[in-house]
Chain A
Amino acid sequence: MQTNRLDTGGRIDRSKPAGFRFDGRKLQGYTGDTLASALLANGVSIVGRSFKLHRPRGIVGSGAEEPNAIMQIGNGASTCPNLRATQVELYDGLIARTTKGWPGVNYDIAAINDVFGRIFSAGFYYKTFMRPQSLWHVYEKFIRRSAGFGRAPAAADPDKYEHLNAHCDVLIAGGGPAGLAAALAAGRAGARVIIADEQNEFGGNLLATAATLDGAPASDWVQQTTAELSAMDNVTALPRSTVFGYFDSNFLTIAERCTDHLPAIERSGSRERVWRVRAAQVVLAQGAFERPLVFCNNDRPGIMLASAVSTYINRYAVRTGERAVVFTNNDSAYQTAIDLQRAGADVAIVDSRRSSAGATAAIATGIPVLSGHVVVDTVGRKGIKAVRVGRWSGDATQTVDATITIDCDVLAMSGGWSPAVHLQSQAGGRNEWNDELQCFVPGESPQENRVAGSGRGKWSLSDCLEDGLGAGKDAASRSGYTPVDVEAPNVDTEEPASMEPLWRVPASQPPDRCPKQFIDYQNDTSVADVRLAAREGYCNVEHVKRYTALGFGTDQGKLGNINGMAVLAESLGKSIPEVGTTTFRPAYTPVTFGALAGENVGELFDPVRTTALHECHEAAGAPFEVVGQWHRPWYFPQPGEDLHAAVNRECLATRNSLGIMDASTLGKIDVRGPDAVEFLERIYTHNIGKMSVGRCAYGVLLGEDGMLMDDGVMARLGEQRFYLTTTTGGAAAVLSWLELWLQTEWPELDVFLTSLTDQFSTIAVAGPNSRRLLMKIGCDVDLDNAGFPFMSVRDAELAGMPVQLFRVSFSGELAFEINLSSSDAPRMWRTLMQAGEEFGITPYGTETMHVLRAEKGFVIIGQDTDGSVSPVDAGMSWLLSKEKDFLGKRSLSRPDCAREDRKQLVGVLSADGTTVLREGAQLVEDPHARQPVPMCGHVMSSYYSACLGHPIALGLVAGGRSKKGETLYAMQSDGSSTAVKIVSPVFYDPKSERQND
């Protein structure tokens, strides 16, 4: 039964009833309702339990500021937690559940917390649950379950979300009176305008006011204006769209909810769309939030913001009570009293001020006004039943005795208004305290924007409209358009707007002994909590926030922060501006992960790079390993083989006969120009000038700090032309590094760099039969040692295809790398595989490559090094030219780099000959030493070597080169240890005879 629904009025469609479920109860509202207005229409007063004390709570607001009515909407994989019922549009079939209060909002076992409220004070969680820390996980479960802010669905999100990039001249955040006026002015001037409003309809407060414009309801002007705007090609109007982030260079993000307001069967397309807008100019017309008043038991269901009470009457035709008390310190709430009276409720006004224009007008309409009085306390456990009122001395340090009791079922409160400065603050703007308006108003901004309307303290409707027009004109003209004159509609009766600050109503007992006076409903932060924080030495508002949880909730303190700051200021004997505000961060209201992720999920989560041979590897059944963005074949299992069996077979086949690998992911850089030699001399550590054309060299490059940065093969293709390879992961960074030096430090060098990584594919053939294989398929260059020695390069024709042939080896075997056009690569691979059959050619993946190189003690930069390993540490001193300077050389003689006890590359063998050590395992001298056990090194690479018949590992050990033969202990994750022996890092073919074969 919609017991609180008015027979007429409102913007609901009484011909379209919408059935919905609330915690299992079947209820009915109308299309045009929000979930909140429908619940209030049905007389539902309790919508949640408070976070800490589990007190029953009702709907307080009518928009983004709502702290209590946090709902879980929908079922299954599409369910969405943490939605404010005040912002959820009602549709037929909607399913809503309360998220706070277990087992249910009406019967809550944890409400006993309320009885112990005094010990459950500020900092309680820190003081109690953080010590002993070992018990935190026990407490945490209890707290999380009994707190509860909804549940994330366990199944994958079935819905589609999208991102859209847009540019405009003028972005307007907020479509109330100021925003619409701004859009009209900017749109008529011809500017490309985007106007976004979080509600289903434009108009903001104009949809909820009894005021008239040009003699007609304000909603008529809204309708005319939105019709004109939607007819303009240069204006994009986005309802249901929240501007939630304001970033650098006028980059703003808008979350548009496309289908959530529709019954499930009517939904199609994207559920949400995030607009990423770059705007030349921005108009912030987000309006203002009404402030609650702070008095004892000010959280009972039925206590609401005055503006919300009016909105429910005027916009949704819901009268939230029959006997109303309006408690205010300003004039705006008088309109609420009139709205209540017109809706047939009995109304009384309690005004803390001794006199006001509003009171005079109200008394004239027969509404009783208690001027100079305040509501001290309230009665009614599950809903307000009465208020206790006392005379207000004007001095918050005095106690006030309640002398009058007024029965009521709704209390509309208004503590004045606070501009919504969130976006302006996100933009980097400062907030300034305005003493006359008693609020923070947006100050100077570093970005191209302006605030219009009540968002900067323009309280009256005519001021908002004029301010919006001015802002729209200014934004249009600053983005290069000629403004045109636009008339503002005439506001027929202007309401007075004076206020006197009232931050905290004193009770009949001192503030720390009286019943709770709540500041932040969602976190149960009270006046006493903030005062306690101040007494305990927290004098910075950011610290008080973290200590008391003030403003920590999903409402981000939209409602309570200003009162909290005022109470803190009073406790510290400071002014409000001296205390200051906390930082406003995106998002303005919560945004779903789905919207933030957009299309970047599943296959599109990260770009995937595949080589030209990818299909060959897929056909061979290889699982892939992700390296950077590359998908590289990991191993090539034959039926019944696991990773280890396959790798053992691949290793032995390569060492004994012939292996083949796709090495296309190596970075490839072409370096050419008259100064190529000079440039590379300065970058790489070895002597480049001495390399003759057709020769290759292993090269490393260092950071200026002397640490290994990347490595690869350098080939001299001509007097002025080189070809470099980089590690797979380092390709982009090396190119960027080379460009940095060339462009910033040595622009006089005539050198050009070109990335060839994607243009060329690389196939490595390794093993004693690799030369025979190439000869078999037809090679036009002499492949024997004399004509084509180890570490050389030739242009060749191989199997009729032009290739660049390298004789290099990353396995220690006789090996060749075939560099060729990516379009020829699949044909070459198939040719090699076919011709190699007689040698038992065996494709191998990254795992075998790792084992083969580790057997030879070849490091992989980034796996065996971590940015703190110098070439000396890695045993590469032979690579360091003594005849020239190169990047990082000076650092190698810094005292720290010359230390004898630096961690050095060594081989590590488990003493039992069978244990494969864990990569990352710490090495210690005495595992039984007193904790913390001194660590002297760690394992970086560890494999089973089929070829050697035992496990091998590479490690970094302090002073390791002089520790050869010594025993250390590798720690396992279970606390046990394995004895290991420190050896040379070269396990296989130490004289390197095979690659020269």
Chain B
Amino acid sequence: MLLIACPYCGERAETEFSYGGEAGIARPKDPHALSDEQWADYLFMRKNSRGMHRELWNHAQGCRRWFEVERDTVSYVIKECYEIATPATSRDNQSRAD
């Protein structure tokens, strides 16, 4: 069971959180300007990384805040947890749809 450091509350057990999938997928500004393929890419295609993975977590049983986690999908070791609103400069927006 992961120990996740909520940026707002501190370290808590995984059971307090819910998972939100891959992070950094920006919603296209004008969905209707996209082709079906581009929209499907935004909708369905995910990296499924082996190794470091940026993902969303929600402190559902706590402060209810969503935040980002960088986690190794092989070892499950969490490298960092941080607020959505303050992405570090090194974390360029990796979305492919906008």
Q: Which residue of A lies closest to B67 (CB)?
A: A743
A705 touches B58 (CB 8 A): no
Q: Which residue of A lies closest to B83 (CB)?
A: A743
Q: Identify B75's interface contact among A278, A446, A705, CB under 8 A.
A: A446
B1 touches A890 (CB 8 A): no
Q: Identify B66's interface contact among A247, A739, A890, A891, CB under 8 A.
A: A739
Residues of chain B lying within 8 A (CB to CB) of residue A736: 18, 58, 60, 64
A428 touches B75 (CB 8 A): yes
- For residue B84, CB closer than 8 A to chain A, the reply is yes
Residues of chain B lying within 8 A (CB to CB) of residue A740: 20, 56, 58, 66
Q: Identify B36's interface contact among A250, A251, A894, CB under 8 A.
A: A894
A894 touches B40 (CB 8 A): yes
B84 touches A747 (CB 8 A): yes
Tell me whether A743 and B39 are in contact in the complex, defined as CB-CB below 8 angstroms, given that A278-B3, A885-B31, A890-B34 are known contacts: no
A122 to B77, CA, bound (A): 40
Q: From residue B21, how far is it (CB to closest CB) to chain A in Å?
A: 10
Q: Identify B76's interface contact among A248, A735, A885, CB under 8 A.
A: A248
Q: From residue B61, how far is it (CB to closest CB) to chain A in Å?
A: 10
Q: Which residue of A lies closest to B34 (CB)?
A: A890
- For residue A889, CB closer than 8 A to chain B, the reply is yes
- For residue A823, CB closer than 8 A to chain B, the reply is no
- For residue A744, CB closer than 8 A to chain B, the reply is yes
Interface string of A673-707 (1 = CB under 8 A from B): 00000000000000000000000000000001100
Tell me whether A743 and B84 are in contact in the complex, defined as CB-CB below 8 angstroms, given that A248-B76, A251-B1, A890-B31 are known contacts: yes
Give the one of B39, B65, B78 with max A CB within 10 A. B39
- For residue A402, CB closer than 8 A to chain B, the reply is no
B27 touches A745 (CB 8 A): yes
Interface string of A712-751 (1 = CB under 8 A from B): 0000000000000000000010011001100111010000
Q: Identify A248's interface contact among B1, B23, B65, B84, CB under 8 A.
A: B1
B2 touches A248 (CB 8 A): yes
A890 to B76, CA, bound (A): 35
Tell me whether A885 and B32 are in contact in the complex, defined as CB-CB below 8 angstroms, given that A739-B66, A744-B56 are known contacts: yes
Give the one of B34, B42, B60, B72 with max A CB within 10 A. B60
Tell me whether A247 and B1 are in contact in the complex, defined as CB-CB below 8 angstroms, given that A740-B20, A890-B32 are known contacts: yes
- For residue A895, CB closer than 8 A to chain B, the reply is yes
- For residue B45, CB closer than 8 A to chain A, the reply is no
A890 to B33, CA, bound (A): 9
A739 to B20, CA, bound (A): 12
A362 to B87, CA, bound (A): 70
Residues of chain A lying within 8 A (CB to CB) of residue B77: 446-447
Tell me whether A889 and B60 are in contact in the complex, defined as CB-CB below 8 angstroms, given that A249-B2, A278-B3 are known contacts: no
B58 touches A739 (CB 8 A): yes
Q: From residue B74, how far is it (CB to closest CB) to chain A in Å?
A: 8
Q: Which residue of A lies closest to B33 (CB)?
A: A890
Q: From residue B76, how far is it (CB to closest CB) to chain A in Å?
A: 5
Q: Which residue of A lies closest to B56 (CB)?
A: A744
- For residue B26, CB closer than 8 A to chain A, the reply is yes
Interface of chain B residues 1 through 38 with chain A (CB within 8 A): 1-3, 13-14, 18, 20, 23, 26-27, 30-32, 34, 36
Interface string of A426-451 (1 = CB under 8 A from B): 00100000000000000000110000
Interface of chain A residues 744 through 768 with chain B (CB within 8 A): 744-745, 747
Tell me whether A739 and B64 are in contact in the complex, defined as CB-CB below 8 angstroms, given that A248-B76, A745-B26 are known contacts: yes
A249 touches B84 (CB 8 A): no
A447 to B78, CA, bound (A): 11
Q: From residue B38, how far is it (CB to closest CB) to chain A in Å?
A: 10
- For residue B88, CB closer than 8 A to chain A, the reply is no
B43 touches A705 (CB 8 A): yes
A894 touches B18 (CB 8 A): no
Q: From residue A936, how far is it (CB to closest CB) to chain B in Å?
A: 27
Interface string of B50-65 (1 = CB under 8 A from A): 0000001010100011
A885 to B30, CA, bound (A): 9
Residues of chain A lying within 8 A (CB to CB) of residue B13: 251, 278
Q: Identify A743's interface contact among B26, B27, B65, CB under 8 A.
A: B65
Q: From residue B12, how far is it (CB to closest CB) to chain A in Å?
A: 11
Q: Which residue of B lies closest to A706 (CB)?
A: B43
Q: From residue B58, how far is it (CB to closest CB) to chain A in Å?
A: 6
Chain B residue total in the interface (Cβ 8 A): 32
Q: Which residue of A lies closest to B40 (CB)?
A: A894
Give the one of B26, B31, B36, B40 with max A CB within 10 A. B31
B66 touches A744 (CB 8 A): yes
B1 touches A704 (CB 8 A): no
A446 to B52, CA, bound (A): 14
Residues of chain B lying within 8 A (CB to CB) of residue A747: 84-85
A895 touches B36 (CB 8 A): yes
Residues of chain A lying within 8 A (CB to CB) of residue B56: 740, 744
Q: Which residue of B lies closest to A276 (CB)?
A: B1
Residues of chain A lying within 8 A (CB to CB) of residue B31: 885, 889-890
Residues of chain B lying within 8 A (CB to CB) of residue A249: 1-3, 14, 76, 78
Q: Which residue of A lies closest to B4 (CB)?
A: A249
A124 to B28, CA, bound (A): 57
B76 touches A891 (CB 8 A): no
A891 touches B27 (CB 8 A): no
A278 to B75, CA, bound (A): 18
Q: From residue B47, how far is it (CB to closest CB) to chain A in Å?
A: 17
A525 to B81, CA, bound (A): 48
Tell me whether A446 and B43 are in contact in the complex, defined as CB-CB below 8 angstroms, given that A743-B65, A744-B66 are known contacts: no
Q: From residue B69, how far is it (CB to closest CB) to chain A in Å?
A: 12
A732 touches B60 (CB 8 A): yes
B66 touches A743 (CB 8 A): yes
Interface string of A883-912 (1 = CB under 8 A from B): 001000111001100000000000000000
Residues of chain A lying within 8 A (CB to CB) of residue B66: 739-740, 743-744
Interface of chain A residues 163 through 195 with chain B (CB within 8 A): none
Residues of chain A lying within 8 A (CB to CB) of residue B84: 743-744, 747
Q: From residue A446, how far is it (CB to closest CB) to chain B in Å?
A: 4
Q: Which residue of B lies closest to A742 (CB)?
A: B66
Residues of chain B lying within 8 A (CB to CB) of residue A889: 31-32
Q: Which residue of A lies closest to B31 (CB)?
A: A890
Residues of chain A lying within 8 A (CB to CB) of residue B14: 248-249
Q: Which residue of B lies closest to A889 (CB)?
A: B31
Q: From residue B26, how far is it (CB to closest CB) to chain A in Å?
A: 7
Residues of chain B lying within 8 A (CB to CB) of residue A744: 23, 56, 66, 84
Q: From residue A583, how far is it (CB to closest CB) to chain B in Å?
A: 14
B75 touches A891 (CB 8 A): no
Tell me whether A891 and B1 are in contact in the complex, defined as CB-CB below 8 angstroms, given that A743-B65, A744-B66, A885-B31 are known contacts: no
A428 touches B76 (CB 8 A): yes
Residues of chain B lying within 8 A (CB to CB) of residue A428: 75-76
Q: From residue B23, how far is it (CB to closest CB) to chain A in Å?
A: 8
B39 touches A891 (CB 8 A): yes
Q: Which residue of A lies closest to B64 (CB)?
A: A739
A705 to B14, CA, bound (A): 28
A739 to B23, CA, bound (A): 15
A740 to B84, CA, bound (A): 11
A747 to B18, CA, bound (A): 20
Residues of chain A lying within 8 A (CB to CB) of residue B42: 704
Residues of chain B lying within 8 A (CB to CB) of residue A735: 64
Q: Which residue of B lies closest to A250 (CB)?
A: B3
A245 to B30, CA, bound (A): 49
Residues of chain B lying within 8 A (CB to CB) of residue A895: 36
Residues of chain A lying within 8 A (CB to CB) of residue B30: 885
A/B interface sample: 9 pairs, CB < 8 A: A247-B1, A251-B3, A278-B13, A428-B75, A446-B72, A446-B76, A744-B66, A889-B32, A894-B40
**Chain B positions near chain A (C-beta within 8 angstroms):** 1-3, 13-14, 18, 20, 23, 26-27, 30-32, 34, 36, 39-40, 42-43, 56, 58, 60, 64-66, 72, 75-78, 84-85
Since A446-B72, A743-B84 are in contact, a sample of 13 more A-B pairs with Cβ atoms closer than 8 Å, ordered by chain A residue number, is A247-B1, A248-B1, A249-B2, A250-B3, A428-B76, A446-B76, A447-B77, A704-B42, A740-B20, A744-B66, A747-B84, A890-B32, A890-B34
5 smallest beta-carbon distances between A and B, as pairs? A446-B75, A890-B31, A249-B3, A743-B66, A251-B1
